[in-house]
Amino acid sequence: MRRRDINKTFSKEGITFEYPGDWFEVPAGADKLLNGYAHEIGVLIPPINYGNVIIQKYNLQYLGVNSVQEDWSKTIDWMKKDNITIIMQNTTTVNGLTIYKMINSGYEPAYNGTQKMLYVEVGKDQNVYIIQLYSESSSFDSYLSVFNQVVSTIKIK
């Protein structure tokens, strides 16, 4: 998929990014609290096997951390303890924002198979956003460049 195919815009609760025209948005239930401190602000469905993109927002004060970097470290520790395989992790800068990225994999009982995920965390002030782009392992690698194109368009107000 080429860059020109990234032609739709997601923009909610301070985060904006572009995504491909063949993805569609489904209701996220933005009022649904997750673990008492975060809420889902969007769900996008790409045309890949068991693919899903979940966008969440939360405030650092509820996590008891002072920065996105501190939360990122706790996330890495939690995933390791939960036997999630971390394949790659790094940081990059997009539109002046520090983006924390990792690719991980784990068994997903709902699909009776392994899924891979590009897990992205970015924040500004006290607001933190998590974007989880995942699919069945056999589809993930071929779609990773598209996921990375999406990440390269992230902006926060």
CB 103 within 8 A of CB 97: no
Q: Total structural domains in the chain?
A: 1
Instruction: Pull the structure tokens for residue 112.
Output: 């009776």
In DSSP terms, 135 is beta-bridged to: 116
Range of the domain at 28: 3-156
Mean model confidence pLDDT for the chain = 87
Read off the CATH number of the domain in which 23 is found.
Answer: 3.40.1000.10
pLDDT tens digit sequence for 34-57: 555 568 899 999 888 778 899 999
pLDDT digit string (tens) for 8-18?
A: 999 999 999 99
User: pTM value?
Assistant: 0.88
CA 144 vs CA 41, 49, 103: distances in Å: 22, 13, 10
> Is there a contact between 129 and 55 (Cβ–Cβ < 8 Å)?
yes
Q: What span, in angstroms and rounded, lies between the C-alpha atoms of 102 and 115?
A: 14
